[in-house]
Structure 1
């Protein structure tokens, strides 16, 4: 249970509320008796519990944002774009959603008199491929030009804007806006829609034939329910009853159990009946392949918007050690992560028909994908000398 107080009289709005984390947060708040509003461009894929309100809207449209936040006590801003896969390569939408959209949320809170804003940020605001062991919130933001992807760069800009807005006088004269930011690790849990289905898809298509990086490299993950807990605690700590102790602060959030990225997913691979790969390749090689893939996507993406196997940022995030201390979150928020594993995730996929089975269609699809990418690679390689001449 969280230590949230007065939750029954509060109204919360969640941007990106139809997403995996946003919807889970909404259901948790709703169960505690809060009034919850989901703000998203798409309706949730799951049944919305009675009492939770859904508002279709775009954070890139300021008028829609200010209308949605009017009458709200606290905003959880979790909407973002470009976290993984081909989305990472769409710089225009990434900038519109992550930077402009966040500015709209901050401005709307000030105009509508919303006193609390909790921003869902990312580890990536300080990480760009360098080794970090037990880092804390005293680490500086990674210089913007060193970010290997536009998502991390824009999330960093957005977090800075949210933190800087803390203390801004509300236009209704009721005091100042109190803001904080949470920096989660990779999110997992049953029903997660962004990363896990992609990983399972790679496993089932036969792409997962190797691992890479030092087997001693460590990263972190956060179960969705631990992340929900952290957000609720952060919102609570913004209240006057707790001296607004989280105002203007950022916090790293994870399960608190650094683990090798590939070993973390071993239970999923083997739980679905597949063999864990024995071949290990160097990070530098995989990074180079990811770079070439991004070049290919940049050239022919408008015609054939294929899903990159990995992007450069994903290589760093999975193959280079980076984990963080949660001493600050524990001391100031009272955050104590619960222990979870991938058992429930495996069962979730099995219940939906996933698992090792003779599937000629998967093999055929894999062969077609390989042939298409090989042809595209040959096309680009034949084109490069002309560009350089």
Structure 2
């Protein structure tokens, strides 16, 4: 390879050398764990359009048409033999696969631990054993956030102490990110190279076709459950459009290469649209765009947190027999009702990340094109859930009058 580049340098200008290097990079093979999910598949399609070879590694096949030269391999990152087999010959891994982000998944601690921690260890081991020199890990804001107010935080913030994480997902994602960044610089087996790693910490992902959060929100709207908001109107959070997140991952992988002096190696980056907004105001265009009135009732966040706690306790008792979807978990209450937003300065300076401006118009159109947006009457279950909420409010108020032990 060196002699070929020396020959090229003697016959081409610097700009042409950069073009050749870029074309070579575009022919690299990328493995995307969790590649059949919303974000993973979007990333795969973007890389594919630029000429890269793509392997999707997931427990389920993609739910949309896949270009012929994108390879899907069914597998589980918890099984090292499967990881080892699929990673052979890969140039760069995007490790996106995780479990337990929201809803009832947050309450399955055993599976969360196995996927997020053991699975990540398998990926790191396989990269080292099979000479993969680049790994980009998709982390989360939650590695530093546990319900405390953060305004314009940056990457100098310490990890939240593990025992303070309000949910197991955040705790295990923190452990996984630590392992990924610690592995940076590991010598590759039977190779003169080393493993370069970095981690991206995205905000909540949105975009047309997103399948985790937005359908759940629209379901609440259509069932008449979305009757109130909570927390202070001044509380601010962040979101990231899927295409901005795709761009950040591509830039991070590129910044791990020798051409970019490995500038992202060993680094973590917060990634968002860079526009802090009240969580409920962010979704106002979606609510009103589908033809529903935006709630006027605002409840204290302490009340909703108490309701989420009761819901989790009920799920713990009856979950083994009936695994229902909690209306909210305690972590979701924190993430949506407590101010936490972060600076993009490091990502802009080191990755050349420039988020493009997006809104929810395309999301509204996506749902409308699938028959959503019709008015509906309150269902029995929505009224039942509202009744539970108000009973919880009564109990919380009653408890506040009880004497404190030892006073």
Q: TM-score with structure 2 length normalisation?
A: 0.89
What is the CA-CA distance between 1:49 and the residue it aligns to? 1.4
Q: Which residue of 2 aligns with 1:354?
A: 372
TM-superposed deviation, 1:370: 6.9
Q: 2 CA distance for matches of 1:336 and 1:296?
A: 44
Once the two structures are TM-superposed, the CA of residue 52 in structure 1 deviates from its matched residue by 0.4
Alignment of 1:56-95 (within 5 A): 56-95=74-113
Report if aligned partners of 1:7, 1:32 keep a CA contact under 8 Å in 2: no
1:330-384 superposed Cα distances (whole Å, 9 cap, x missing partner): 00000000000000000000000000234x6x6245357679x79xx9xxxxxxx
In structure 2, the partner of 1:160 is 178
Please state if 1:366 is matched with 2:366: no
Give the conservation status (yes or no) of the 8 Å contact 1:185–1:221: yes
1:37 aligned to 2:37?
no
Secondary structure class of the residue paired with 1:139:
coil
In 2, distance between residues paired with 1:94 and 1:128? 18
Q: Secondary structure at the match of 1:179?
A: strand
What is the DSSP-based 3-state SS (H/G/I as helix, E as strand, rest coil) of the residue aligned with 1:335? Answer: coil
Aligned to 2:309: 291
What's the counterpart of residue 198 of structure 2? Answer: 180
Please state how far the C-alpha of 1:84 moved relative to its aligned partner: 0.2
Say whether the 8 Å CA contact 1:113–1:174 is kept in structure 2: no
8 A contact 2:292–2:375 mirrored in 1: no
The answer for unaligned runs of 5 or more in structure 1 is 378-389
Q: Distance in 1 between matches of 2:293 and 2:281?
A: 13
1:61-95, Cα deviation, whole Å (9 max, x unpaired): 00000111100000000000000000000000000
TM superposition shift of 1:304: 1.3
Counterparts of 1:70 and 1:111 in 2: how far apart (Å)? 9
Give the counterpart of 1:223 among 241, 251, 267: 241
The equivalent residue for 2:361 is 343
Is the contact between residue 119 and residue 159 of structure 1 (CA under 8 Å) also seen in structure 2?
yes
Bigger Rg over Cα: 2
Q: Tell me the residue number matched to 1:205.
A: 223
Alpha-carbon deviations, 1:146-175, whole Å to 9, x = none? 000000000000000000000000002131
- Unmatched segments (≥5 aa) in structure 2: 1-18, 393-407
User: Which residue of the partner structure matches residue 385 of structure 1?
Assistant: none
Q: Which residue of 1 aligns with 2:267?
A: 249
Paired residues, what number?
Answer: 371
Match for residue 119 of structure 1 among 126, 134, 137:
137
Q: Cα RMSD (Å) of the superposition?
A: 1.7
Q: Which residue of 2 aligns with 1:276?
A: 294
Q: Is the 8 A contact 2:225 2:386 kept in 1?
A: no
> Any idea what SS the aligned residue of 2:379 has?
helix
Q: 1:150 matched to which residue of 2? A: 168
Which portions of structure 1, spanning 4 or more consecutive aligned residues, are displaced by more than 4 angstroms?
367-371
CA–CA distance in 2 between the matches of 1:370 and 1:286? 12
1:328 Cα offset (Å): 0.3
